[in-house]
Amino acid sequence: MITIKHQSITVSSPATVANMVCGFDILGFALQAPYDIYTLTISNEKGIKIIQEDAFDLPANPEENVSGAALLAFLEAVPEIPGLILHSKKNIKPGSGIGSSAASAAGVVVAANHLINNYFPKEELVRFAMFGEKVASGVKHADNIAPAIYGGVTLIRSIFPLDIIPIQAPDLYVTIVHPQIEIRTADARQILKQNILLKDAIKQWGNIAGLVAGLIHHDYDLIGRSLEDVIIEPVRSILIPGFNEIKIKCKEAGALGGGISGSGPSIFMLSTTLQIANSVEQIMQEVYNQIGLAYNTYVTTINHEGVKILDSK
């Protein structure tokens, strides 16, 4: 039975990296930073009211808003809650390729579930949040939402039926650079070839198997050898200036490897130490300074927890 336990919840909801090099559409992981802050309060007024406390000028109509759409799906399953007021403070820039919309969708459904004493299992929360992702990209994908909700590295073995498998991953450092260009997810999908060579697919699934085994066994060498994408990256990296130079130089500096975050334009690199992760950041900055492109960088770690409750009343 659904019972209301809290009146108000504040959460942090993390950025995430989908399409983990060889793991296109199936592997993603959560980051410690950046993250959004959401406060959800039960209201007697029906429906969702969204109060935006950031400068991103996202749609305020719940049906067109990622958080709003996810919460509408949630409310439909929870008639015990008449309405919700959402205070939304996003730090993850939409369109950056590090799961901004997934953070919006995942954060609010985890918060809403906490109001009712975590009635729904995580997998059900992913389903609610996917209604939000559909507003953002037209597709109900889960490879950012799942790591945002579960934390760590998650495998989406299958979307229909939904089958999410948390992969125990080591404490890796992550360096992200977000060059200030826009790549629409729809465009990044469109340039992909619908047909691929069987021999390339075999290489790719060898690497995926190696990556999963490497993550579970904390075998850094194996993770590094497996972080290779012969199918998606060669096509999509063309859209990201400086990509190849950054990748080569970061690996020379000791990074295990990395690639395009989501559908870009952000690039991520994994490292075993903070020192290497900082060197990697410096390389990224130098490359974009030389190209003359504005950018943001982050040095962070894999977030094993996912959306985090900061306060409850």
Residue 3 is a binding residue for a copy of itself (CB under 8 A): no
Cα angle for residues 19, 64, 41 (degrees, 5° grid): 95
Residue 26 is a binding residue for a copy of itself (CB under 8 A): yes
- Among 10, 11, 14, 23, the residue binding a copy of itself under the rule CB under 8 A is 23
- Among 31, 156, 172, 307, the residue binding a copy of itself under the rule CB under 8 A is 156
Cα distances from 217 to residues 22, 235, 272, in angstroms, run 18, 31, 14
Quick one: CA torsion of 211, 213, 216, 219, rounded to 10 degrees?
A: -80
Residue 199 is a binding residue for a copy of itself (CB under 8 A): yes
Among 27, 18, 17, 30, CA closest to 211: 27
Q: Is residue 202 classed exposed, middle or buried when 0-12, 13-18 and 19+ CB atoms within 10 A define those classes? A: exposed
Residues that contact a copy of itself, how many (by CB under 8 A): 40
Site string for a copy of itself, 107-146 (x = CB under 8 A): ----------------------------------------
Q: Which of 39, 41, 133, 233 is catalytic?
A: 133
Instruction: Retrieve residue 147's tokens.
Output: 């790591």
Q: Which residues contact 273 (CB under 8 A, 6 or more apart)?
A: 173, 254
Q: Is 233 a catalytic residue?
A: no
Whether 151 and 132 have beta carbons less than 8 Å apart is answered as no
Q: Is 16 a catalytic residue?
A: no
Nearer to a copy of itself, 196 or 274 (CB): 196
Write out the binding residues for a copy of itself, residues 237-276 only, by CB under 8 A.
none
Q: Which residues bind a copy of itself (CB under 8 A)?
A: 22-27, 155-158, 163, 165, 167, 192-199, 201-213, 216-217, 222, 225-226, 231
Catalytic residue numbers, as ranges: 133, 185
